[in-house]
């Protein structure tokens, strides 16, 4: 079972579900030629695909277009179902920075055929996560910068408040469909600037006041 660590603490959480939101920044939806969604687009990643700061991201040989997506990740600390606004906010106990690695060529192919794009989003090492900062230590304001540097160059840069659906709204929406439990992670979508990675590329992902991680493509 995969675990996540808490910054400045010996506390650990065993990871349950990894729920992800697609197209949650308007400019990213547009850069892929998609409409801005009216409700959160949800997909899942298996917890076994999770890796950490410093681990290598494996580039599958069956894809020619793997993209980086830097994202704010929520750590769920309470069990919630059909959460009210307040319950949804209280269910989030920490924040981290993560990478949702995506096989864009496969995703486009599956989408065109009307098939599920699970395998474009689920493969070993496709989910990267930092340590989490507990909300009691730092509460996000929305002004935090989120960015990704590829080989030292800025590729993605935005701020958390550019999200179409903010964290509590996402938690509320998901909890109406499936119970969220302690240890579940929610990837909240990526800003514009996604790009193709090659073997040897170094990705630095960070969110101001939260965390920074570095991973190499293998
Ligand atoms: Zn994503």
Distance from C-alpha of 155 to C-alpha of 184, rounded to nearest angstrom: 28
Ligand 1 centroid from CA 105, angstroms: 15
Ligand 1 centroid from CA 138, angstroms: 24
Q: How confident is the model at residue 103, as a pLDDT?
A: 98
Which of 64-88 are b and which e, b meaning 16 or more Cβ less than 10 Å from the residue's Cβ? eebbbbbbbbbbbbeebeebeeebb
Ligand 1 centroid from CA 187, angstroms: 7
Domains identified in the chain and CATH numbers: 3-216 (3.90.850.10)
Tokens of 191: 């800003």
pLDDT (tens place) for every residue of the chain, 218 residues total: 999 999 999 999 999 999 999 999 988 888 888 888 889 999 999 999 999 999 999 999 999 999 999 999 999 999 999 999 999 999 999 999 999 999 999 999 999 999 999 999 999 999 999 999 999 999 899 999 999 999 999 999 999 999 999 999 999 999 999 999 999 999 999 999 999 999 999 999 999 999 999 999 99
SS (H, E, C) 7-74: CCCCCEEECCCEEEEECCEHHHHHHCCCCCCCCCEEEEECHHHEEECCCCECCCCCCCCEECCEEEEE
Ligand 1 centroid from CA 42, angstroms: 10
Ligand 1 centroid from CA 22, angstroms: 5
Ligand 1 centroid from CA 87, angstroms: 25
Ligand 1 centroid from CA 70, angstroms: 7
In the sheet that holds 202-207, the strands lie side by side as: 153-159, 145-150, 202-207, 211-216
Ligand 1 centroid from CA 191, angstroms: 9
Ligand 1 centroid from CA 43, angstroms: 9
Query: Hey, is 160 helix, strand or coil?
Result: helix
Ligand 1 centroid from CA 80, angstroms: 23
Q: How confident is the model at residue 105, as a pLDDT?
A: 98
Ligand 1 centroid from CA 120, angstroms: 11
Distance from C-alpha of 62 to C-alpha of 45, rounded to nearest angstrom: 19
Tokens of 60: 């599958």
Ligand 1 centroid from CA 98, angstroms: 9
């Amino acid at each position: 079972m995969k675990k996540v660590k808490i910054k400045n603490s010996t506390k650990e959480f065993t990871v349950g579900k990894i729920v992800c939101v697609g197209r949650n920044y308007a400019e990213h939806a547009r850069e892929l030629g998609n409409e801005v969604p009216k409700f959160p687009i949800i997909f899942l990643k298996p917890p076994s695909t999770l890796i950490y700061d410093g681990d290598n991201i494996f580039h599958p040989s069956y894809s020619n277009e793997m993209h980086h997506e830097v994202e704010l990740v929520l750590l769920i600390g309470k069990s919630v179902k059909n959460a009210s606004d307040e319950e949804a906010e209280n269910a989030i106990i920490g924040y981290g920075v993560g990478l949702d690695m995506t096989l864009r060529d496969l995703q486009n192919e599956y989408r065109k055929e009307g098939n599920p794009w699970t395998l474009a989003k689920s493969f070993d090492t496709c989910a990267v996560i930092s340590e989490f900062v507990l909300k009691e230590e730092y509460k996000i304001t929305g002004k935090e910068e989120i960015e990704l540097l590829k080989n030292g160059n800025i590729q993605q840069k935005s701020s958390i408040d550019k999200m179409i659906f903010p964290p509590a709204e996402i938690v509320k929406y998901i909890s109406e469909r499936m119970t969220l439990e302690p240890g579940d992670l929610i990837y909240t979508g990526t800003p514009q600037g996604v790009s193709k990675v090659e073997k040897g590329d170094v990705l630095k992902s960070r969110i101001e006041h939260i965390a920074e991680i570095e991973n190499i493509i293998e």
